[in-house]
Chains A and B, each alone.
Chain A
Amino acid sequence: MTRPPFAVLKLSLILVLAALLLAGIGVMWSRQQALGAQAARLQQQAALNAARQQLDRSRQQQRLIDTHLAEYQTLAGRGFVGAEDRLAWIEAVQLANREVGLAGLEYRLTPRAATDPTLAQGLPLGQTAMVLTMPLLVETDLPRFLAALKARAPGIFRVHGCRLSRLGSASFEAVNQPRLQAECELLWFTVTPATGSVQ
Chain B
Amino acid sequence: MMFDHRLILLATPRQIGVLDWRPGRMHWLGEFAATEAGLAAFRAVVARHAQLPVLLVADTVDEDYRSEILPHVQGHARNELLARKLKQVFRNARFTGAWRQTRETTGRRDDRYLLAALTDADWLTPWLSVLHRERIPLCGITPLALACQHLLARLRPQEPHTLLAYRLDSRLRLSYYHDGLLRFSRLIGSDTPTQLPGNAADEIAKTQLYLTGQRILPREARLQVLLLDPSGQLDSAQAQLNADPAFSTRLVDMQSLGRALRIPDNFLAATPAIAPLAAIAGEPVQLNLAPPELLQRHTEFRWRRGLHAIAGTIALVGLGITAAYWLHAQDLNDQTRQMAQQQQQLDARYQAIARTFPVQAATPEQLAQTVSLSRHLAGQPNVTALLVAVSQALDASPGIVLENFVWADDTLKPTGNVTITLDAALIPFDGNYRAAMQRIEHFMQTLRTVPSLHDVRLRTSPVNADSSSTLTGKTLSGNSSADPVARFSIELGYREATP
Contact = CB atoms under 8 A, between A and B. Distances in A.
Given A26-B318, A37-B336, A193-B366, A71 B371 contact: yes
B95 interface: no
A98 interface: no
B358 A198 contact: yes
A198 B408 contact: no
Interface residue SS majority, chain A = helix
B353 A30 contact: no
Interface string A136-166: 0001101100110000000010111111111
Contacts of A193: 361-362, 366, 370
A40 B380 contact: no
Nearest to A9: B303
A55 B362 contact: no
A23 B318 CA distance: 4
Nearest to B385: A143
B433 interface: no
A36 interface: yes
Interface string A63-99: 0110111011001000011000000000000000000
A60 B364 CA distance: 9
B412 A119 contact: yes
Interface string A15-59: 110111011101101110110111011001101100110110011
Contacts of A18: 311
B369 interface: yes
Nearest to B381: A159
B321 to A, nearest CB: 5
Contacts of A29: 322
A81 B377 contact: no
A137 B342 CA distance: 73
Interface string A91-135: 000000000000000000000000010111111010000000000
B153 interface: no
Contacts of B350: 51, 54-55, 58
Interface string B345-379: 01101100110111111111111111101100110
Contact of B336 (A26, A40, A71, A158): A40
A176 interface: no
B129 interface: no
A165 B403 contact: yes
Contacts of A41: 332-333, 335-336, 339
Interface stretch (B19-27, B196-204, B323-331, B490-498): B323-331
B497 to A, nearest CB: 17
A158 B280 CA distance: 114
Given A54-B350, A142-B383, A198 B370 contact: no
A149 B360 CA distance: 29
B300 A44 contact: no
Contact of A62 (B312, B317, B353, B373): B353
Contact of A16 (B310, B366, B414): B310
16 contacts: A5-B303, A23-B314, A23-B321, A27-B322, A30-B324, A30-B326, A44-B343, A59-B353, A61-B363, A69-B367, A80-B374, A139-B405, A156-B374, A166-B403, A195-B361, A198-B357
Interface of B: 296, 299-300, 302-304, 307-308, 310-312, 314-315, 317-319, 321-326, 328-330, 332-333, 335-336, 339-340, 342-343, 346-347, 349-350, 353-354, 356-371, 373-374, 377-378, 380, 382-384, 387, 403-409, 412-414
Given A61-B364, A72-B360, A75-B370, 20 more contacts: A8-B300, A9-B303, A12-B304, A16-B311, A23-B314, A23-B322, A40-B336, A41-B339, A48-B346, A51-B342, A52-B346, A62-B357, A64-B365, A81-B361, A123-B366, A123-B370, A165-B403, A196-B362, A197-B357, A199-B357
